[in-house]
Each structure stands twice: as structure tokens, then as C-alpha cells.
Amino acid sequence: MNTTYLRIELARVGRDLVSLFFIAVLPAFFFVIFGVSMGYGAAAIGNGNASMYTMISMAAFGAVTATTGVGGMAAVERMQGWGRQLGLTPMSDTRYVSVKATVAFTISLIPIALIYLIGAFTQASAPGWVWLASAAIVMLGAAVFSLYGLIVGLLFRSEAAVGAASGALVVLAFLGNIFIPLSGAMLEIARFTPLYGIVGLARYPLTDGALVSMEGVGGNDPLWALLLNVGVWTAIFAVGAVLLVRRGRSRQ
């Protein structure tokens, strides 16, 4: 990996204060509103409480927003000519991808660390292993959405499109049962959306798969169903990215 290029990329992303606000501050604000300030935050849920449940949800939302943005901009750079510029340097495609992946992973740590820090100093409660396991699953799950960002960047070749893709995550987060507990037909639809499996897996150490609704805790998401959701959407995003990369090469 080219450490110099990695440092430049991290500095460039760090200067984009507007993007950092939506990546880190906005999910943290949502957590404060829906997880810290609400009276039900101390209510018991599984191996912890409701505040912990909301904290995991908001950390996942912030992390996928981060990886979507970095993945999308990497694709736009390649399609707009940056790839030809890099071709004049000794840097290989593998190194370029590894740098971008490292940048996406690093940026995704910002909302996770900030939200978990707020949770630690407020009323989020769970055993230590739940904190560690949920954070690790959030980080791994967020990597899937770097492929989503990559697809959007390759498909539309526009920074505005990448911004729209990040904005569309709000809709996917709602459908993914992140912002408010869904029930009935909406819950059945949600089970087929790309964020549902990732967030469900991140919550699993806390809830053991139990579903939370406005009426309380009831129902269950089997572990295999959550893994299947993540596996299928990862495959869809990966195949889509490969096909779009090949299409881009055929046009050059």
C-alpha cells in the first residue's frame, strides 16, 4: 500500500467538512434524540437496554454512509480520468483499491467511535462483549455498502449522483428497520432490503434475534435469515460492480 497516497486521501476527505457532518455528526445527533433523551432508553432489551439498541442502529447508519461516499467517489475519479493519471505512476490497480478500501474503513470508524463514545457516557448498557461484537459487525457490514457506492459512481459518473446515493440511504435505513421499529407488511418488505440484514446482525449480540416493535419485544429473526440477506445483497452489489467495470473498460 502507498502510505503517501493514503495520507493524502485521508487529508482530502478530512477537509470535506460537509460530508463529515453527515457521516458523523448527523447519526450522533439522531442517537442523542432517539436514544439518549427518550425516557424509554433505560428499558431492558435482550442483553442490554433500548439506548444500546438505538446506538447500534445509528452507528450502522453512519458507517454505511461513510463507505458509500468513499466508494462512490473512487468510482467517479476513475471514470473521469484519474485512472489514466494513475496509470502514469508505479501504483497498480490493486494498490489503488487497497488505499480506497483503507480510507473507507478509516472514515467509517468516525461515526462508530463517536456514537459509541456518547453511548458509553450516557445510558447505553450491555456486557462488554456486546459492545465489541456489535461494533465489529457494523464495520464489516459497512464494507458491503462501499460496493453500493462504487456501483452508483460507475453508473452515473457524477459527484451529485454519489451524494444522491448517500441521501437514498435514509430511505433504505427506514426500510431497514433502523429509525423506527416496523411491523406488519412493512416489516415483511423490510426483510428483503439491503440494510436489514446488516443492522440485524449488528444487533444480534444484544437481542439474540428478537424483534423490537412499538408494542415491545416479540418475534424473532433467525441468524441464518440475516446472513442470507447480507450474502445475497453482497453478491448483487459485487456482480453489479464487476459488470459496470467491464462496461467502462469496453468503452475506452
pLDDT at 97 over 70: no
d(Cα 56, Cα 36) in Å, to the nearest integer? 13
144-202: pLDDT as tens digits: 888 888 788 777 766 677 777 777 888 899 888 888 888 888 888 999 999 999 999 99
Model confidence band, residue 245 (pLDDT cutoffs 50, 70, 90): low
- Residue corresponding to grid cell 478509516: 106
Domain ranges of the chain: 3-251
Closest CA to 111 of 38, 61, 180, 179: 61
d(CA 62, CA 77): 23
Question: Averaged over 225-245, what is the pLDDT?
Answer: 87
Residue bearing cell 493524502: 8
C-alpha cell at 82: 484519474
What global pTM score does this model have?
0.86
Could you say which DSSP state residue 49 is in? E
Instruction: Look at residue 83 in the predicted model and tell me its pLDDT.
Output: 59
Query: Is the model more confident about 172 or about 218?
Result: 172
Cell triple for 227: 446472513
- pLDDT value of position 184: 82
Give burial (CB, 10 Å; 0-12/13-18/19+) of 90.
exposed
User: In 3-state terms, the chain is what percent helix, strand and coil (to 5)?
Assistant: 80, 5, 15
Secondary structure in 3-state letters for 188-252: HHHCCCHHHHHHHHHHHHHHCCEEEECCEEEEECCHHHHHHHHHHHHHHHHHHHHHHHHHHHHHC
Please compute the mean of the pLDDT values over residues 124-146 and round it to a whole number: 92
What are 29-51's pLDDT values in tens digits?
888 887 787 777 788 888 999 89
